[in-house]
A and B are shown apart, each in its own frame.
Chain A
Amino acid sequence: MSDLITDTSPSPSGVSDENGSKKSRAGALLRFGRTGAPVLPFLAYVSLGLLLPTIAIINLAFRSNAGKLTLANMKVILCTSNNQACLQYRAGFENSLKLALVTSIVPGILGTFVAYAIATSKHELFKRLTAACSGVLAQFGGVNLAFMFIAAFSAVGGVATHWLADIGLNPWNHGFNLYKFWGVAFVYMYFQLPLMILIITPAFAGLKESWREAAEGLGASTWRYWRHVGLPVLAPAVLGSMLLLFGSGFSAYATAEALTAGTIAITPIQIGAILNGNVLSGEANLGYALGFAMIVILLISVIGYALLRRRTSRWLR
């Protein structure tokens, strides 16, 4: 089991483990039995608190409310039949994926530029300050952030809305709605952008100045340097970071719930509604099915992140 986990593991140090050869694996289990006892409480806690709930989700996602094995829940959330009741869950997934894509690609690109601007700065204090700020802002989110944005940008009484209206740019008159898709995306940026800056900055530190000098010495223009050296080296790191942002945007619940009072149709909100009992009585196990589908999507993005991470470590450390 633990071997299974280790094999698919994204090695966060970025270095693949050369010692993991086959001969040591045979004795590994035996050695674990002898020396592993002190980590058992930790493993037991993780099994009960993380593994057991996950197994329950996978199990119950494929059972009817009466406890029989069934694919009915999956059919409903994938909406293979065209009845009206299930369309909302498919729409939920579409909105969630769209939201996660928008809030990973846009802050991903902007964050890369801002991180580059910070990384090439010569002021050490400024670098340290922005790093600390990114660390703090990436932790913002949830109810508090939603209330901050409501106070600033609500249609009536929003202070920043008022400022913008004073210069004739009231965003609500130009199609902006804080409580709809783009409003939610706008708020998500507040923690996604710092998160991107935080995780992409080390990549710029690994971009050697000597590569640029070498390229220019061979007569490359700035464009050619970025096209053939800078971007190819950075691309895996940028894409991997974006996948991490995708996961964070896809699974956020509190911010969207508090901002829209649960009116935006995204999967986490729909799961919350099912848990709160705001559904038809026959749909209780749909919550597990939706949870299972979220796990699958997040697992794919994390594995993608791990693979890109491994590729990144080829050039950048």
Chain B
Amino acid sequence: MASLELGQAIQGEALMDSYSRGNPSARRIKRVRWGRGTALFLAALYFIVPFYAAMQFCLQDVNGHFTLQTFTQIAQAPGFYSALWLSTQLAVATMAIVLILMVPTMIYVHLRMPRFRRVMEVITILPIVIPPIVLIVGVDGVTPLWLKSSQWLLALIYVVLAMPYVYRSLDAGLGAIDLKTLVEAARSLGSGWVSIIWRVLIPNLRSALLSASVLTLALVFGEFTIASLDGWTTIPVWIYLTPTTNPRINTLVAMMALLGTALVLMLIVSFDRKSHLRRS
């Protein structure tokens, strides 16, 4: 469908080209190309310059020479490892809870309650209406004290924040497989529900589960608002609050976090495409 449209578009433009050779409108096409080039160039400049400049900032010493020393200084920075450990624990807990909660629910909804999908879609839009800074105010007002003093409260809140991403990934994944046939085939061969989910559906949803997990991971490792207002030193809070002997250390951790996010997201995109190509 998409390639058909593209084909038509290319044909259309080729047709236009042949009509307009030597016409004033040929100049228009040229002008459009120039405009496009300039717009893309400026956009690329805006995205590349700060990134490149910050990388250079991290990787130079006081004399402005290139050095990798900052990397070794990260390891010695006070509190870095405990922050990394806390963020890792929270990420694992959040991923576990959100997947255990959402995967069976969404499989069931796709199979038996298709109309409920709209309710879930709306619920997953709510974190836009109630952003983290507002959510934490409300959570603060209703959480009992024993839970408030626990680090796991963060994981419980992150599950809510991760729901939109997890919902979207799983919804796409479930839409792409022939759920009904798979389930009916497995049931006619005598499988119970646990074994259907574990041995039939999860292997088929691998790429959707991967992107849901990775997005959750990126979310937990980047979340600052709730962690800082709740008083927990996760990685972003550490970057912001910990004074180190060398500001390059904090910036380098921030840049590594950005690069890590970029890398895993790129991975998802390529993984998604590969599995898509395999299917078709």
A contact set with B: CB distance below 8 Å = 2, 5-6, 9-12, 17, 19, 35-36, 38-39, 41-42, 45-46, 49-50, 52-57, 60, 110, 113-114, 117-118, 120-122, 124, 132-133, 135-137, 139-145, 147-153, 157-160, 163, 189-190, 193-194, 205, 209-210, 213, 222, 244, 247-248, 251-254, 257-258, 268, 271-272, 275-276, 287-288, 290-291, 294-295, 298-299, 302
Looking across the interface, which residue of chain A has its beta carbon closest to that of B138?
A53
CB distance from A224 to the nearest CB of B (A): 13
In the complex, how many residues of chain B place their beta carbon closer than 8 angstroms to a beta carbon of chain A?
A: 86
Chain A: minimal CB distance from B243 (Å) = 12
Q: B12–A136 contact, CB under 8 A? A: no
The answer to whether A209 touches B105, judged by C-beta atoms less than 8 angstroms apart, is no
User: Dominant SS at the B interface?
Assistant: helix
B119 partner, pick from A5, A49, A205, A209, beta carbons under 8 A = A5
B83 interface residue per 8 A CB criterion:
no
List 11 contacting pairs A-B, 8 Å CB cutoff, sorted by A: A11-B118, A39-B113, A42-B120, A53-B135, A54-B130, A144-B261, A147-B240, A151-B58, A158-B57, A163-B53, A298-B131
Query: Which residue in B9, B57, B123 is a CB contact (below 8 Å) of A46?
Result: B123
* Given contact pairs A17-B118, A140-B258, A147-B251, A56 touches B142 in the complex (Cβ within 8 A): yes
Question: Shortest beta-carbon distance, A48 to chain B, in Å?
Answer: 9
Asked if residues B50 and A148 are in contact (CB atoms below 8 Å), the reply is: yes
B5 / chain A contacts, CB cutoff of 8 Å: 205, 209
Interface centre among A122, A222, A258, A302 (most CB of B within 10 A): A258
Residues A148 and B123 in contact in the complex (CB < 8 Å), given A122-B10, A160-B49: no
Contact with A along B35-78 (1 / 0, CB 8 A): 11001100100110111011011100000000000000000000
Instruction: Check if A213 sits within 8 Å of B236, measured CB to CB.
Output: no
Binds A, one of B153-161, B180-188, B200-208: B153-161
Residue of B with least CB distance to A288: B137
Residues of B within 8 A of A36 (CB): 113, 116
CB A300 to nearest CB in B, in angstroms, measures 10
A163 to B52 Cα, complex, angstroms: 12
Q: How far is the CA of A157 from the CA of B10 in the complex (A)?
A: 49
Is there a chain A Cβ closer than 8 Å to B79's Cβ? no
Chain A residues lying within 8 Å of B13, measured Cβ to Cβ, are 122
Contact in complex: B261, A140 (CB < 8 Å): yes
Report if A295-B251 is in contact (Cβ < 8 Å); known contacts: A117-B36, A159-B56, A193-B43.
no
Inter-subunit contact A56/B141 (CB<8 Å): yes
How many A-B residue pairs lie within 8 Å, measured between CB atoms? 248
B36 touches which one: A120, A253, A288, A294 (CB < 8 A)? A120
* B258 and A143 form a contact (CB under 8 A): no
Per-position contact with A for B221-265: 1 when CB-CB < 8 Å, else 0? Answer: 011110011000000110110000000001100110110011001
Q: Give A140 to B35 CA distance when docked, in angstroms.
A: 27
Q: Which residues on B sit within 8 Å (CB–CB) of A210?
A: 8, 12
For residue A124, which residues in chain B have a CB less than 8 angstroms away from its CB?
6
**A6 touching B134 in the complex, CB below 8 Å, given contacts A39-B109, A144-B254, A288-B141:** no
Contact residue among A17, A118, A143, A257 (Cβ-Cβ distance under 8 Å from B239): A143
A268 and B226 CA atoms in complex are apart in Å by: 12
Give the CA-CA distance A147 to B241 in the complex, in Å. 12
Please determine whether A209 and B36 come into contact, CB atoms closer than 8 angstroms. no
Known: A45-B101, A117-B39, A251-B134. A152 touches B50 (CB 8 A): yes
Cβ contact within 8 Å between B43 and A114? yes
Neighbouring B residues of A56 by C-beta, 8 Å: 138, 141-142
Using an 8 Å CB-CB cutoff, how does the interface string of B104-117 with A read, 1 for contact, 0 for none? 11001100110110
Q: B122 near A: Cβ within 8 Å?
A: yes
Chain A residues near B133 (CB-CB < 8 A): 251, 253, 268, 271-272, 291, 294
Q: Would you call B47 and A190 a contact (CB within 8 A)?
A: yes
Establish whether residues B258 and A157, one from each chain, have CB atoms under 8 Å apart when the complex forms.
no
A130 to B280, CA, bound (A): 24
Q: Are B159 and A45 in contact, with the CB atoms below 8 A? A: yes
For residue B258, give the distance in angstroms from its CB to the closest CB of chain A: 5
Residue of A38, A122, A190, A294 touching B134 (CB-CB under 8 A): A294
Partner of B105 from A39, A133, A294 at Cβ < 8 Å: A39
Q: Which residues of B contact A189 (CB under 8 A)?
A: 46
Asked if B119 and A6 sit within 8 Å, CB to CB, the answer is yes
